[in-house]
């Protein structure tokens, strides 16, 4: 997996192909920083899919569109369609299980 920092301008293009895990976060958010380390570890173990990080402070309209009221918020897209979401910190093992369940 690769981590891509997305924006409102390229978001639709980034999620339209395959499995994409989107992490809505903010730099000032402690649980978001903890989750970032888990996502980094995940990239070393999985080849398929990608992770798109969206900073809610920089992409407020996108956060509003997807109803982000709390962060970190993870959304799973398949070929551009939202298929599931989770709120809050998750360890790498739970993220891996979640991805496997939604292949």
Q: What are phi and psi of 49, to 5 degrees?
A: 80, 180
The answer for residues whose C-beta is within 8 angstroms of residue 61's C-beta and 6 or more apart is 8
Of residues 29, 36, 51, 95, which has the active-site annotation? Answer: 29
Q: Does 45 participate in catalysis according to the annotation? A: no
Q: Is 32 a catalytic residue?
A: yes
CB atoms within 10 A of CB 6: 23
Catalytic choice (21, 32, 42, 54)? 32
Residues with catalytic function: 29, 32
């Amino acid at each position: 997996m690769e981590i891509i920092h997305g924006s409102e301008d390229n978001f639709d293009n980034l999620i339209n192909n395959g499995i994409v895990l989107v992490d809505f976060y903010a730099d000032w958010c402690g649980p978001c920083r903890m989750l970032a380390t888990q996502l980094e570890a995940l990239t070393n173990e999985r080849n398929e899919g990608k992770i798109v990080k969206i900073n809610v402070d920089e992409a407020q309209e996108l956060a509003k569109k997807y109803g982000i009221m709390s962060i970190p918020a993870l959304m799973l897209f398949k070929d551009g369609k939202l298929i599931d979401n989770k709120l809050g910190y998750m360890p790498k093992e739970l993220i891996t299980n979640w991805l496997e369940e939604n292949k």
